Amino acid sequence: MRIRPTSTVAAVAALALLTAACGSDDGESALEEATADNPIEITMYYPIAVGGPLQEVVDGLIDDFMAENPEIAVQAVYSGNYDETMVSVQTAVDGGDAPVTSVLLSTEMFQLIDDDMIVPFDDVVTNDDEREWLDSFYDAFMANSRDHEGRTWGIPFQRSTIVQYWNKDLFEEAGLDPDHAPQTWDELVEIAQQVQQETGARWGVQIPSSGFPYWLFQALTTQNDVEIVSADGTEVYFDQPAVVEALEFWLSLSADHGVHPSGIVDWGTTPEDFLQGQTAMIWTTTGNLTNVRDNATFDFGVDMLPEGVRRGSPTGGGNFFLFADASEAEQVAAMRLIRYLTQPEQAAEWGIATGYVAPLPEAWETAAMEEYVSGFPEAAVARDQLDYAVRELSTYARGQIYEILNDALQGAIVGDMTPEEAMRHAQEQADNVLGVYQN
Amino acid sequence: MEREHDSPTATAGRRHPDEVAQHDQPAFAGPRQGPLHHLRRIPNPVFAWLLMVPALVFLGGFTVFPAGSALWNSLQEPGLDGGVGTAYYEQMLGDAVFRRSLINNLLFSFITVPVSIAVAMLMAVLVNRKIRGRGLLRLAYFTPAMLPVVAAAAIWLFFYQPNFGVLNTIARWLGFEGQNWLGSPSTVLPALMVMMIWHQAGFFMLFYLAGLQLIPPELDEASQLEGAGRWYHFRRVTFPLLMPTTLFASIVGLANSFKQVDFIFVMTQGGPNNASNMLLYYIWQTTFPQRRPEYAAAITIVLVLILIVLALIQIRLFERRIHYR
């Protein structure tokens, strides 16, 4: 069962009629007929969520692609942050002017499938080379790119995980080994206590909880060895005892151990807290690596998150999607562009420029990447953590599920509800929303 | 509306002399007929409507049609084969987040608008007197209003920041415990209100300054002759004469307080646990991240109704007490 705006139905229907009227169009042959003088034109939307002059890097990559493929003309449209890009895409699709491809949060997958907005790459690839390409990425990233039936709906492009950053100078001042980050939950509490007592740091550790607390919470649940979402995106498991336990551990950092600020910790200002020495450790995305490296006035380290029952972090970040409203020829052209951008050389260049984790193992074997990592070993931490990474929370009716879980987490953090009440309430609400998707 | 025909002489006068010679026209040609002369046969009322067509097209296309389609969308029943009904309005009744946003919004409006107006009036009266550095003071009061709301929000985000924020730094320096201003439900809404008052009081001050210029100075002299105190003069003369400005400022302020939510995006995203959520932000949340456009349309209709009712009440309330000159 599907709930959707009537206007979309009308727009899609109109487009379908139009496409039908134009006759069946064979992607391959249309693309073969395209020439440099009469190229196939494709539009690509992309967001930028980290700092730096990255538009130039994108333009450079696109120019290289067009030089190699003169029969394809790419118009790359910078479209703000992820939310803004999603809004642009939705509006464009409703208006019958969908882009051919866009980078969007990988977790949008089920919602986009539900809205009939995207097509799987399996339907667009044409030869064995391209089929192999679909299997060339890290499994941890494909967990948010493939559905439970193995169809590939997204191609990993700018992906990340959560890592811990620590201030080596403060550790040394507190009499701790500056090269040793906490490896377990217990150690996290001990080290945080010691560094908070012995130094001027106001807090031992900060785990941000504004905006999208579900993401950081999922690191804790994974470490407590519990899955909160099913592979097909129709079920969530918020009210299991292990999930409640993970939340209780988060709250205990401030309530019992006093090493973490109480109330909501802002995502955006947490790196600044770290840079100013207000907190000795932070949990945040690898995407902040470049920012911290450029602005830290002290020695800092980056390591995998500590383990509870096990190690773990969700992945995050953006995938390429192909839109259903585009013609087959456009889809094939876009697929070639995406394939080009995720070749080892280009993926390495993008990873180095942004701090995102290059999404395929071969990229890490390129000369450029090896040189980068030897000078800056912290960059490889997120890649190594991929062995322990899990699928980021992604469901049908994603926006509603996110709001339900985020509100529950914040409610528990500020003391409106106990962790158990919050999670039970979230589960009930989520079941209500997801009921229509379960068979 | 009267459109006069060009008189022949006037037409001839405007012509280039060479032209007359070239065409060798008789001295008394009929009135010159311009390319639009057929329009003159159109009756005036029709012509008036024609003139309004461009404006009506835009008004219809960008205001009436979207409003109508929002109303229509909000009255759909959920599901593909749903008919027309009030399901989304019923959903709203049971929606705790909607209730919270509505209450937050009403609190926010009914506190920030009167306080901003009072502060603005005070500032205007202060800087309307002949004092040294008057221009500088006016500028200082008005500066916040020149910032975009987003910029103001970004500044205040760092004021309120719990660790290195200005507010907590001062508090600790004075020996108080710092607060997590935006991170706890009891302080987040007041914190946002303070920011909003800071931002808009200067803007309203400008209107009050203009209002004060319109009050005849004789009234001031008369009060002095009669020996009325300053407060008495303000209460009985200045305040009533500023009523039209107050009405204007309160309507604009109230509408703004429902319309402006940019700062929520920057500062709190409606958190913690919707303690700072407001109607328009919730409408955005339901439209885009949650993709429930019909439900969002229903909330929009409610928001518009609230605004209309508030505006009507205000106008009624003030009507009796305003002295338009």
Least-confidence region, from B27-36, B192-201, B232-241: B27-36
* CB count in 10 Å sphere of residue A424: 16
Task: Summarize the confidence of residues B301-305 as an average pLDDT.
Answer: 93
Residue B255: strand, helix, or coil: helix
Burial class (CB in 10 A: 0-12, 13-18, 19+), B51: exposed
Interface residue A273 vs chain B (CB under 8 A): yes
Interface residue A272 vs chain B (CB under 8 A): yes
Structural domain span for residue B229: 97-319
**Full 3-state SS string of A53-82:** CHHHHHHHHHHHHHHHCCCEEEEEEECCCH
Residue A46: strand, helix, or coil: strand
DSSP string, B279-313: HHHHHHHHHTTS--HHHHHHHHHHHHHHHHHHHHH
Question: Six-digit token pair at A116?
Answer: 């009939």
What pLDDT is recorded for position B101? Answer: 95
Buried b (16+ CB within 10 A) or exposed e, B75-112: bbeeeeeeeeeebbeebbeebebbebbbebbbebbebb
Whether the Cβ atoms of residue B237 and residue B225 lie closer than 8 Å to each other: no
Buried b (16+ CB within 10 A) or exposed e, B177-212: ebbbbbbbbebbbebbbbbbbbbbbbbbbbbbbebb
Question: Six-digit token pair at B252?
Answer: 């604009």
Residue pointed to by tokens 């205040």 = B156
Residue B102 forms part of a structural domain:
yes
Whether the Cβ atoms of residue A348 and residue A358 lie closer than 8 Å to each other: yes
What pLDDT is recorded for position A20? Answer: 43
At B23, which amino acid appears? H
Fold of A6-159+316-378: D-Maltodextrin-Binding Protein; domain 2 (3.40.190)
What is the Cα–Cα distance from A331 to A322, expressed in whole angstroms?
7
What pLDDT is recorded for position A22? Answer: 42
User: What are the structural domain ranges in chain A?
Assistant: 6-159+316-378, 160-315+392-437
Whether the Cβ atoms of residue A46 and residue B113 lie closer than 8 Å to each other: no
Residue pointed to by tokens 């339907």 = A123
What is the Cα–Cα distance from A180 to A171, expressed in whole angstroms?
9
Task: Summarize the confidence of residues B102-106 as an average pLDDT.
Answer: 95
| CB contact (8 A) between residue A414 and residue B97 | no
Is pLDDT at B25 greater than 70 in this prediction? no
E-strand ranges in chain B read: none
Do the interacting molecules here have an ipTM over 0.85? no
Mean confidence (pLDDT) of chain B: 85
What pLDDT is recorded for position A368? Answer: 95
Question: Six-digit token pair at A296?
Answer: 């830290």
Whether the Cβ atoms of residue A421 and residue A259 lie closer than 8 Å to each other: no
Residue B59 forms part of a structural domain:
no
**Which residues of B have a CB under 8 Å from any CB of A?**
73, 76, 78-80, 97, 157-158, 161-164, 180, 182-185, 268-269, 271-275, 285, 288-294
Question: Six-digit token pair at B150?
Answer: 């987003």
Question: Six-digit token pair at B141?
Answer: 């009061």
Question: Six-digit token pair at A30?
Answer: 């249309």
Backbone angles phi, psi at B135, to 5 degrees: -60, -40
Count of structural domains within chain B:
1
Interface residue A103 vs chain B (CB under 8 A): no
Residue B114 forms part of a structural domain:
yes
What pLDDT is recorded for position B224? Answer: 85
What is the Cα–Cα distance from A408 to A141, expressed in whole angstroms?
27
What pLDDT is recorded for position B283? Answer: 95
Chain A residues near residue B162 by CB distance under 8 angstroms: 261, 263
Residue B218 forms part of a structural domain:
yes
What pLDDT is recorded for position B178? Answer: 85
Chain A residues near residue B164 by CB distance under 8 angstroms: 272-273, 276, 278
Chain A residues near residue B192 by CB distance under 8 angstroms: none
Residue pairs spanning A and B at CB distance below 8 A: 103
Residue pointed to by tokens 């929370």 = A393
Buried b (16+ CB within 10 A) or exposed e, A117-149: bbbbbeebbeeeebeebbebbbebbbbbbbbee
What pLDDT is recorded for position B8? Answer: 45
HSE-up of B101 (CA within 13 Å, CB side)? 26
| CB contact (8 A) between residue A397 and residue B285 | no
What pLDDT is recorded for position B7? Answer: 44
DSSP string, B93-130: HT-HHHHHHHHHHHHHHHHHHHHHHHHHHHHHHHHHS-
Residue B77 forms part of a structural domain:
no
User: Which contacts qualify for B277-285: CB closer than 8 Å, 24 or more apart?
Assistant: B277/B97, B277/B100, B277/B101, B277/B104, B278/B101, B278/B104, B278/B105, B278/B108, B279/B101, B279/B102, B279/B105, B279/B303, B279/B306, B281/B101, B282/B97, B282/B98, B282/B101, B285/A399, B285/A403
What is the Cα–Cα distance from B267 to B154, expressed in whole angstroms?
7
Chain A residues near residue B291 by CB distance under 8 angstroms: 90, 111, 115, 397, 399
What is the Cα–Cα distance from B138 to B123, expressed in whole angstroms?
8
At A217, which amino acid appears? F
| Closest listed residue to residue A289, CA positions, set A375, A202, A376 | A376
Residue B16 forms part of a structural domain:
no
Residue A402: strand, helix, or coil: helix
Question: Six-digit token pair at A84?
Answer: 């803004």
| CB contact (8 A) between residue A278 and residue B163 | yes
What pLDDT is recorded for position B323? Answer: 60
Could you read off the pLDDT tens digit of each residue along chain A, which spans 439 residues? 444 444 554 544 444 444 444 434 455 667 777 777 789 999 999 998 776 678 899 999 999 999 999 999 999 999 988 989 999 999 999 888 999 999 999 999 999 999 999 999 999 998 999 999 999 999 999 999 999 999 999 999 999 999 999 999 999 999 999 999 999 999 999 999 999 999 999 999 999 999 899 999 999 999 999 999 999 999 999 999 999 999 999 999 999 999 999 999 999 889 999 999 999 999 999 888 888 988 999 999 999 999 999 999 999 999 999 999 999 999 999 999 999 999 999 999 999 888 899 999 999 999 999 999 999 998 899 999 999 999 999 999 999 999 999 999 999 999 999 999 999 999 999 999 999 998 7
At B25, which amino acid appears? Q
Whether the Cβ atoms of residue B134 and residue B141 lie closer than 8 Å to each other: no
Q: What is the pLDDT of residues B106-136, one digit of tens each?
A: 999 999 999 999 999 999 988 888 888 888 8
Task: Select from A265, A400, A411 the Cβ nearest to the Cβ of B273.
Answer: A411
CA distances from B120 to A189, A366, B322 (A): 50, 64, 19
At A427, which amino acid appears? Q
DSSP string, A323-350: ETTS-HHHHHHHHHHHHHHTSHHHHHHH
Residue pointed to by tokens 């985020």 = A406
At B283, which amino acid appears? I
Work out the minimum CA distance from A386 to partner chain B, whole angstroms: 28
What pLDDT is recorded for position B47? Answer: 87
What is the Cα–Cα distance from A220 to A214, expressed in whole angstroms?
10
What pLDDT is recorded for position B324? Answer: 60
Q: What is the pLDDT of residues B189-206, one digit of tens each?
A: 999 999 999 999 999 999
Chain A residues near residue B285 by CB distance under 8 angstroms: 399, 403
Residue B226: strand, helix, or coil: helix
| CB contact (8 A) between residue B79 and residue A399 | no
Residue B22 forms part of a structural domain:
no
CA distances from B303 to B53, B71, B90 (A): 30, 12, 15
Give the CATH H-level superfamily of domain A160-315+392-437.
Periplasmic binding protein-like II (3.40.190.10)
Q: Which residue has the higher pLDDT, B324 or A373?
A: A373
Contact partners, residue B201, CB within 8 Å, separation at least 6: B116, B119, B120, B123, B141, B144, B145
What is the Cα–Cα distance from B244 to B210, expressed in whole angstroms?
11
Buried b (16+ CB within 10 A) or exposed e, A26-52: ebeebbeebeeeebbebbbbbbbbbee
Is pLDDT at B21 greater than 60 in this prediction? no
Residue A403: strand, helix, or coil: helix
What pLDDT is recorded for position B53? Answer: 93
| CB contact (8 A) between residue A269 and residue B158 | yes
